[in-house]
Amino acid sequence: MLALGAYLSIILITNGGLNVFVAGLVAMVLMGILGVALGAVVFKPVADQGGNVLLFTSIGLAFVIYGAIIATFGTVLRKVPVGLGGRIEFSVAEFVLVLALAAALATLVGWVLANRARRAEHREVAGTWAGLWAARGTGLMLALITAAILVMFVLATQSDGFGTGSHNGVDIATSELAMILLSLGAVLSLQFFLSLTRMGRWLRAAASNPSLAAVRGIPVRVVSGVVWFIGSALAAMAGVMIAVRRGGVTTPLGWENILVILSAAVLGGTGSIMGVMAAAVLLGLAMDVSALWIPTAYRLVVAFGALILVLLVRPEGLFSTRRRAEQAS
């Protein structure tokens, strides 16, 4: 879905004349629908056959999709015919001002989210206080980061010279800024969906115990379709952002990133969206910092090493909720 979403967005931009954001949104919807179809046709018949069958089915489907991409688009680089602008430069003093303004905005955002969660928690099962408070703290942290980027973007685009001066300060590309905003927005929206909506609670219940969820009247098949749609749409979104960031896309796009994706998922652990996000950020930082000591061609070795280390020391992941749930019970 990662590579398919990227290629589809290029087709929509080149042949359909769509804006990159509109093309990305259309690609997300179409890939979401394709994901629902694949889940119903390919994976549902083998859903009860065990994890090994599902794993090999996924690998086989990945090879089929990879072959279809090569047959359709070839192996040459397909360039994205659009960009997201230049770079934003601002001094350290301006950065401190941005953080101060962002802290005030983040406090307001965190207060609103906390009050919304406080009303919702009365409808939840007892024993979720720790998770709710952890979610609030993480949400406040992400709100701070989002607010900092938003304020920085607004101030840096003013005509009074803010953000156009010192080269000794901070320099960030507008494309990278847009991707950070989109990624944070997607994560926060998904967290809100899973925590504070009825469908999100159904999804968590079905993931915990599908049989009991079905007995309680939860439409498990509908929930499964929603999961496939969201997962495929977000994969397409990631593919579009990678294509824009690189300026193009090649057929091995999905295979190039599968090890990093798997490492981040294992490092974060199951049951924690914020944990997986934090693990992905830590893994990305580790891979980039490792370039100081090892050649950049071996950056993936860091991801592979982190994967092996976590599997040996803490197989459930660093931020998994499974161990905490077992200890609480």
pLDDT at 164: 43
CA separation, residue 300 to residues 34, 59, 211, 239 (Å): 30, 20, 40, 19
Residue whose C-alpha is closest to residue 300's, from 267, 248, 256: 256
pLDDT (0 to 100) of residue 160:
46
Question: Which residues lie below 8 Å from residue 13, measured CB to CB, with a gap of 6+?
Answer: 19, 20, 23, 80, 81, 82
Q: What is the DSSP string of 222-269?
A: HHHHHHHHHHHHHHHHHHHHHHHHHTEE-TTHHHHHHHHHHHHHHHH-
Whether the predicted pLDDT of 296 surpasses 80: no
269 or 321, which is more confident: 269
Check pLDDT > 80 for residue 212.
yes
For the stretch 106-138, pLDDT in tens is 666 666 655 665 565 544 443 444 444 445 555
pTM for this predicted structure: 0.70
Summarised one tens digit per residue, pLDDT across range 185-211 is 887 788 778 877 888 888 888 877 888
Q: In angstroms, how far is the first alpha carbon of the chain from the final one? A: 38
- What's the mean pLDDT in 218-223? 87
pLDDT of residue 184: 77
